[in-house]
Chain A
Amino acid sequence: MTSTVNVTPPLRRLHPLTPVLGSWRLLGGLTAAAFGLFRERLENLAWIWDALHGSTDFAVLLKALGVLLFALLVSALAAWLSWRATGFAIMADDNGVGTLLFHRGLFVRQRSQVRLKRVQSVDVNQPLVPRLLGLSALRLDMAAGEGASVNLAYLRNADAGRLREEILRHTGVAPVRAATEQPPPTAGLSTAGRPDGTADAAIAAATAGGLPARAGLEVRGDELIAQVSTAHLIRANLLDGVSAWLLLVVWLIGLVVGSVIWGWEALLAAVAFLVPLTIALVAQISRQISSMLKDANFRLYRTPTGVRISSGLTSTINRTIDFDRIQGVRLMEPYLWRRFGWAAVMVDIAGGSRDEEKGAALMPVTGRSAALELVAQVSGVWLDHGTYVGAGGGARRLDPWGWRYLGVALFDQGAARRSGRWRRSIAFVPFERVQSVTARQGWLQRRLSLATVYVDLPVGAKRWDAQHRGHDDAATLVGELCRRARAQLEPASRAADRRPEHEAEHQATQQLAPGVQHWP
């Protein structure tokens, strides 16, 4: 932070509708509080009915409405004040290094300076209501994790798009890394399940301007390299969660049959009895539905330095990922998908929020070959070309189902591991991301002379593991991972500005006394 300009540049404000959108949450809280105050009166809901028909004192209702109105005013005022206290600006110092200033907070004032070079991914999100109003939120993820993210909510779509491009100009430092041995991606990366020409035609139509209006968020020059049709997404999701859906059907049939035979009381008893099952089922199904909503309209674009994902039905996500910010890539193949030759690709990015811990979907579902090609695009490695060394028969005792599928392959750029009897996955980690290597050996593993090797990756990326390797094998793997990770260590000059933000990247100063600062 040495080169930071001391003079605060003029701050830009968020969209004036932000306080309105933000005050709903506060209003909710205040309504709850009001409800708590009037609980005795409200306990018997009949009085509302009575009040409306003039048979009890109307004054109570008026009082309640008054409190509600007051709450609305207070929350609107608070939201407006906090909107006034929020601002951001992008500065560039003499060396052209960009910094984002972000000031916020009414009582606890927070001033963040974000080095744009350290930004891991840039998202433009549109929750449902802001989307209807033509607003979106710009979110910057930093390697330090959720606490360090900056969420600029809300901006006009066009402003958000412009701001994203401005930020990306400062972050995009990496040269384009393409899979060396292969032609450009458009040929193979078509909508999976439609190997005929229709997919390409659809993409052509889409790029030609057939896209629904997301004005301002579309970036010219970004090449659409893949998209997923809704029907395909739904089929894939149903297949993936087929056990949950089957369970639901059995459960419903059981309920109906039970209620017919034993009457409604039995039905109630059964529901109560099956509460844990019901909860699990509802959770699974809602997870599936939300993932479907999230991945609907999935489009993948190629940007000069990375890829951009755009997806979502009710709320849309628009996320830009530079190739050199990718910490790991995973190819997932659930059991039933394999019959159809489908696969999904996930990427790990440093930082990111908790709900994205499983990684961002780079491709929710596509054909296996297209998925492999996509992996090659982002990592430079063809995962199917490696020689996977199996875990050996010793692993059978500890993993009787999946031991045959455990395997590790070393590439020039990184290591890949294969696993999973039913839900097969290949995880790839670039050597340059390896932070440390850990070998672990439990009591049973020791009896069998086996050990598990882990690669520790930056926060936000899933830990890479090679399960149940033989002793010598594990020793070789540890040695090799460390040796190649060291070989990838960059010269100090380049590293200096890419060091994560333990030191300086994201300085948030908090002060309880607002008067001390010269702002606003």
Chain B
Amino acid sequence: MATLRRVTGVPADALFFEPGVAWRPVSPKLVTERRLPVLAVALVGVAMMILGAALQLVGAPVLWPLVMAGLLVTAVAAVLWFVVVPRVVSSWRYAERAQDLLIRHGRVYRRLTVVPYGRMQVIEVSANPISHRLGIATVTLVTASANTNAKIPGLPMEVAQELRDRLAAKGEAMTAGL
């Protein structure tokens, strides 16, 4: 348990960190993907600062609020970039047990989803162009319930495909309907 605490930085407990279960992390490349929108925000912040400073030099009326706002936006983006995104990504974990799949994520707002293999209807492997370039994919488990939110993002492509095949085989063996 101590190791879990050190690895994840959150206190271990029986509910979200079931002991004796091989929790697997997702690929760190997901951090890169999730950082892209942050980059856009940061660029906007920098652009605001540059614009403000340039206009000031030309001699326009007071524009330091624009510079300050740009600074603020950049600071927020920096926090997201260096702290929030890596922490959120590293909170994704999944574990295959004999009978069901466990997925958990979130630090402030934590969520654990348990899907018995027999309830899986569809297993989806999807990748948008960016994750495609990064070589990662999202595995989504669909059950008959619309509320089931069983998604594992940021799996290396071959891991995702192996997982899909394993899940499909297990689901085939244990399927049940409504």
Residues of A participating in the B interface, judged by any CB pair closer than 8 Å: 143, 325, 327, 350, 432-443, 446, 449, 451, 454, 456-459, 463, 471-472, 474-475, 478, 482, 485-486, 488-490, 492, 495-496, 498-500, 502
Give Cα A486 to B119, complex, Å: 9
Inter-chain contacts of A438 with B (CB < 8 A): 111-114, 147-149
Question: 24 pairs across A/B with beta carbons < 8 Å?
Answer: A350-B178, A435-B115, A436-B116, A436-B150, A437-B113, A439-B16, A440-B109, A449-B13, A451-B15, A451-B16, A457-B145, A457-B147, A472-B14, A475-B14, A478-B114, A482-B99, A496-B175, A498-B176, A499-B121, A499-B178, A500-B121, A500-B144, A502-B121, A502-B142
- Can you list, as one digit per residue, whether each of B123-152 has a CB less than 8 Å from chain A (1) or not (0)? 000000000000000000011111111100
B118 within 8 A of A: yes
One of A457, A471, A498 near B177 (C-beta < 8 A): A498
Would A439 and B112 be within 8 Å (CB), given that A474-B15, A486-B100 are in contact?
yes
Categorize the interface residue count of chain B. 35 or more
The 6 closest A-B pairs by CB, nearest first: A498-B177, A435-B145, A456-B145, A435-B143, A456-B147, A499-B177
On chain A, the residues within 8 Å of B122 by CB distance are: 502
Instruction: Tell yes or no: B110 within 8 A of A by CB.
Output: yes
A474 contacts which chain B residues (CB < 8 A)? 15
CB pair A492–B15 under 8 Å, yes or no, is no
- Is B174 on the interface with A (CB-CB < 8 A)? yes
Closest to A497 in B: B177
Residues on the B chain within 8 Å of A436, using CB:
113-116, 119, 143, 145, 147-148, 150
- With A and B bound together, what is the CA distance between A73 and B149 in angstroms? 51
Q: How far is the CB of A140 from the nearest CB of chain B, in Å?
A: 15
- A459, B144: Cβ atoms under 8 Å? yes
Cβ–Cβ < 8 Å partners of A440 in chain B: 109-112
Please state if A499 and B145 are interface contacts (CB–CB under 8 Å).
no
B18 interface residue (CB < 8 Å to A): yes
Chain B interfacial positions (CB closer than 8 Å to A): 13-16, 18, 99-100, 108-116, 118-119, 121-122, 142-150, 173-178
A475 to B102, CA, bound (A): 13
Most chain A Cβ neighbours within 10 Å, of B14, B111, B122, B147 = B147
Q: Which residues of A have CB within 8 Å of B174?
A: 486, 489, 492
Beyond A439-B112, A456-B143, 12 additional contacts (C-beta under 8 Å) are A432-B176, A434-B119, A436-B147, A439-B15, A441-B16, A442-B109, A451-B110, A459-B144, A478-B15, A485-B119, A489-B174, A499-B178
Nearest CB to that of B116 among chain A residues?
A486
Nearest chain A residue, comparing its CB with the CB of B143: A435
Question: Using Cβ atoms and an 8 Å threshold, which residues of chain A touch B116?
Answer: 434, 436, 482, 485-486, 489
Q: How far is the CB of A232 from chain B (nearest CB, A)?
A: 35
Which residues of B sit under 8 angstroms from A486, Cβ to Cβ?
A: 99-100, 116, 118, 174
A471 CB to nearest B CB, Å: 5
CB-nearest residue of chain B to A442: B109
A482/B15 in contact, CB under 8 A = no
- Complex CA distance for A478 and B114, rounded to whole angstroms: 8
In the complex, the answer to whether A458 meets B15 with C-beta atoms within 8 Å is no
* Chain B contact surface mostly: loop
Q: Are A459 and B146 in contact (CB under 8 A)?
A: yes
| Closest chain A residue to B98, Cβ basis | A486
**Chain B residue contacts of A502, Cβ below 8 A:** 121-122, 142, 144
Residues on the B chain within 8 Å of A459, using CB: 144-146
Residues in B with CB closer than 8 Å to A492 are 173-175
How far apart are A475's CB and chain B's nearest CB, in angstroms? 4
**In the complex, which residues of chain A have a beta carbon less than 8 angstroms from the beta carbon of B15?**
439, 441, 451, 471-472, 474-475, 478
Q: How far is the CA of A456 from the CA of B142 in the complex (A)?
A: 11
- B178 vs chain A, min Cβ distance (A): 5
Given A438-B111, A438-B114, A502-B121: A489 and B147 interface contact (C-beta under 8 Å) = no
Q: Which residues of A sit under 8 angstroms from B175, Cβ to Cβ?
A: 492, 495-496, 499
Would you give the shortest CB distance from A472 to chain B, in whole angstroms? 6
The answer to whether A441 and B109 touch (CB under 8 A), given A475-B14, A490-B176, A502-B122, is yes
Specify which of B14, B112, B144 is in contact with A435 (CB 8 Å cutoff).
B144
With A443-B109, A489-B116, A489-B118 as known contacts, state yes or no: A471 contacts B13, CB within 8 Å: yes
Task: Chain A residues near B176: list those with CB within 8 A.
Answer: 432, 488-490, 495, 498
Using CB atoms, name the residue of chain B closest to A474: B15
A496–B174 CA distance with the chains assembled, in angstroms:
11
**For A143, A327, A350, A499, which residue has the most chain B Cβ atoms within 10 angstroms?**
A499
In the complex, which residue of chain A has the Cβ closest to the Cβ of B174? A489
User: Once the chains are docked, how many angstroms separate the CA of A463 from the CA of B143?
Assistant: 14
In the complex, what residue of chain A is closest to B108 when comparing beta carbons? A443
Chain A residue numbers with a CB within 8 Å of B110 are 440-441, 446, 451
A436 to chain B, nearest CB (A): 4
CA distance A266 to B115 in the complex (A): 61
Q: How far is the CA of A454 from the CA of B110 in the complex (A)?
A: 13
B100: chain A residues at CB < 8 Å are 482, 486
A500 touches B178 (CB 8 A): yes
Asked if B178 and A143 sit within 8 Å, CB to CB, the answer is yes
| Residues of chain B with a CB closer than 8 A to A485's CB | 116, 119
Question: Which of B14, B99, B143, B145 is most buried by chain A, counting CB atoms within 10 A of its CB?
Answer: B145
CA distance A471 to B13 in the complex (A): 8
Chain B residues with CB under 8 Å of A432's CB are: 176
Q: In the complex, what's the smallest C-beta–C-beta distance from B125 to chain A, in angstroms? A: 16
- What B residues does A451 contact at CB under 8 A? 15-16, 110
A442 to chain B: which residues have CB within 8 Å? Answer: 109
Nearest A residue to B118 via CB reads: A489
CA–CA, A293 and B150, complex, Å: 41
In the bound complex, CA of A459 to CA of B13 (Å): 32
What residues on A are CB-neighbors of B99 within 8 Å? 482, 486
Write the chain A residue with the least CB distance to B114. A437
A485 to B119, CA, bound (A): 10
